Chain A
Amino acid sequence: MNATSLLVFDGLLLCSIVGLAWASLASHDERRGVILFIAFGLLLAVAWGRLLAPDVALAEAAIGAGLSGALLLAAVRKQSPGSSRTHANPDRNRSESGAKVVLQWLVTLLCAALAGTLAWALLHALSSTPHDTLPRAISDNLVASGVSNPVTAVLLNFRAYDTLLELAVLLTAVLGIFALGQATAGYQPAGPVFDGLVRWLVPVLILTAGYLLWVGAHAPGGAFQAGATLAAAGVVLRLAGRSRIGLPDGFALRIVMAAGVGVFLLVGLTLLLLGRSFLDYPPAWASALILLIETAAMLSIAATLLLAFVGGQPQSAGVTAAANRQREEISR
């Protein structure tokens, strides 16, 4: 594509993105707002692809739009079974008191000022020569890092400590969710069409997850994208009303939840005991260690995201099956 057509594409894409963001936030129907947000997320993924960030594009599509969207939609469903809730749109409600209107305009002005200041600073930053010390250091050390995908190298080697803490963030969120209550009730068992779809979709998703994990070392992919795909398989099973969604029970579940952080710590501390620095992989072992950590992380991420969707500690399979049977009897 030549420069002009690329510019046209960029212009259209960005207008759509901003338009979707605006529409989503201006919508006075919660469900519609969430669906527009999901579309916004998917167009963002396109934008990331356009800006040569395929790893981020995959993650945005799977986690940012997909799982976030699923969580938000499930939340809308919880609040109002049947009809979707409408909320007074701050822009449209004309019976607002004068003070509120003034407040809204003040806030809008404040946000516009923020955008302006941010843009001013950003233009200053972009007009100076780009700082290349870090990208050059990354490419110089890429061979020693054990993988050839630079983003994976940064995530799992150079800045592995960030990833360790990020896995701890995931764990914290799910523990907080556990503390708030039991999982939500499941969905109704699916009809034959959806059930048939699920029958082949889930294995495909699992295979894709394994592929993404493996290929992340030398191409776009990695533990996060793979974990999100695996979680998606579980979400699909749940939406189809199945009682078994791939999560183990009891102690095994805790092991899976803790595995990501645990394996990371284990590797790091073992290296420390062997006289090296924390998370300082010996170059000969680096790719194997990274794959090990990524596998554990993938399982943890998948379990955590799925548990977040389910909304808490899942009831045992027997209880859910009984509940489904009860619902079937009532509907007859």
Chain B
Amino acid sequence: MSLKNKDVVSALKKYPVIFACGLLNVAIILAIYYRGDVVPAATAQLETKTVLSDRLKANLVNSAQLAEQREALVAANAAIDSRLVRASELAKNQQYFYRLEAETGTKYKDLKQLPPTPTLKGGGNAYVAVPYSIVVEGGYSQLLTFMRRLEGGAPFCRVSSVNLSRETTDLSNPLLVLTLSIELLGQP
């Protein structure tokens, strides 16, 4: 046994507690060091799972009445579909306007269906706008009734521009002319 080893052994015998603690401390420090990365990794994993769990929970909370609300929308859209016009059904569409004419006592000077256009810019629309150019003649109350029926009628109607003017400059003439540019909501 060398002198160095002898010293170590004698020191070990002299301070056994310190040596034991020293060895233990080295082991603990190594354990703390190598296990140190596990805690942040676990924390990150917990955060990810918590976020996911919260999102799923929020989905469930927010969808509590979703089925009923969707059913209500489906029913509303079915009602809307029944009020849509079809651009291809020209005669049927004209029939609607001639019925209006007969009911209000007005007289068309011009009635034209124009090619359908998208209701909104950007595409992906569920509906199209079926434009109409109308010139109709009648008394004030007749034209007012005509407009009322048109605006509140079965097909959804958007008035793009309208001009109401006297047919002549003669103030005693009760006839008025209503020039309309309208769009009816239609199926694509």
Are A and B associated in one complex? no
